Amino acid sequence: MARAQRLAALLCLAVAASLLSLGAQATTGPRARVGVYELKLGDFSVKVTNWGARLMSVVLPDSKGNLADVVLGRDTLAEYFNDTSYFGPITGRVAQRISRGRFVLDGKVYHLQLNDGNNTIHGGGTAFSKSAWTVKEYVCGGDSPYITLYYHSFDGEQGFPGSLDAYVTYRVTSPYTLGVHMNATARDKATPVNLLLHAYWNLGGEGSGRDVLGHTLRLHASRHAVLDAELLPSSGRVAPVAGTPLDFRAPTPIGARIRQVMGGKVVGYDANYIVDGGGEGTMRPVAEVRDAASGRAVELWANQPTVQLYTGNWLNHTEGKGGGVYNQYAGFTLETMGYVDAVNHPEFPSQTLRPGQEYKHDMVFKFSF
């Protein structure tokens, strides 16, 4: 057994070194020790980089056995270093938007970097999604390949209080299941924490040339957070989806009512849904998506209270993989998380960690074809 484990470890190192040669150019500075790591079970393959703890690709068959990558992204690590489209990273310390880049915690006002007009989005311009995470464990073989990545966020990073230790584990299991498990611990001060995975999906294949408007979506969500023109829940209201273009309680093509939706300043979904059922931290079904043309489908389960549906509204001749380009609606995201801007809304469940408290965020993607 020990010999088999040693051989598996050597194989993992060889695979990582081979993949690293495809695009890592930085060997010193904040981009040092950045690589690409593959998790593979038969014809199911997932690639991850520790640059932003980023999901780079998910390759699986369609109903005819043809393999395709269903995650939008870039070809090389060098391109990810300068990516502004959030292709696949873990974002934080607080994902989505914080109104005016400020909040009050324990009587003290904190000011954050403004990187979305007058607001902060995805924690600011750097930090979690644009830093090298440490590879803590990497097991590329066996029945359950996985990688665990670690990031230390220092006190005052991007304006947030206190130091924070964050981890994410990507794990592949049979049949065609990807688990993404995030956790974080506040070390010395109270701080808000709300991490998410910002992966764009196209079940027809990222290079298929087809958008996702024909994908059929079902969301286990009967309510949504009412967002204003800046995509903030300024009113603090939660409203039923019934009778609105946001209603996906029954399987519906994503594009069926998209022209009736303004996702900020452009047409498309950028909506926050309250997931039905379950108590705090309970794993429950969030969504099912199916692409009839390829036969691929995915079920998403998670333990977070909300999910953000985004339809790539701002993709516009954006460089993608293999020399291709992504235009509007080339992919969709389903970002499970806590309530948007909860730190400024006491009526929402709190996203604040006290020293020693742990944040846990689990997602499971179950693919079929």
> Is 200 assigned to a binding site?
yes
Report cis status (omega within 30 of 0) of the bond before 305: no
Distance CA 70, CA 332 (A): 11
> Is 198 assigned to a binding site?
yes
Distance CA 324, CA 144 (A): 32
For the record, the structure tokens of 336 come out as: 């499970």
Distance CA 238, CA 56 (A): 34
DSSP 292-347: TTT--EEEEEESSSEEEEE--TT-SSEE-GGG-EE-TTS-BEEEEES-TTGGG-TT
Torsion angles phi and psi, residue 77, rounded to 5: -65, -35
Distance CA 281, CA 340 (A): 17
Q: Which residues are catalytic?
A: 198, 335
Residue 163 CA neighbour count, 13 Å, CB half: 6
Q: CB neighbours (10 Å) of residue 193?
A: 28
Distance CA 194, CA 251 (A): 29
Encoded amino acid at 89, one letter: P
Q: CB neighbours (10 Å) of residue 228?
A: 11
Residue list for the binding site for beta-D-galactose: 198-200, 270
Task: Please enumerate, by residue number, every residue annotated as part of a binding site.
Answer: 198-200, 270
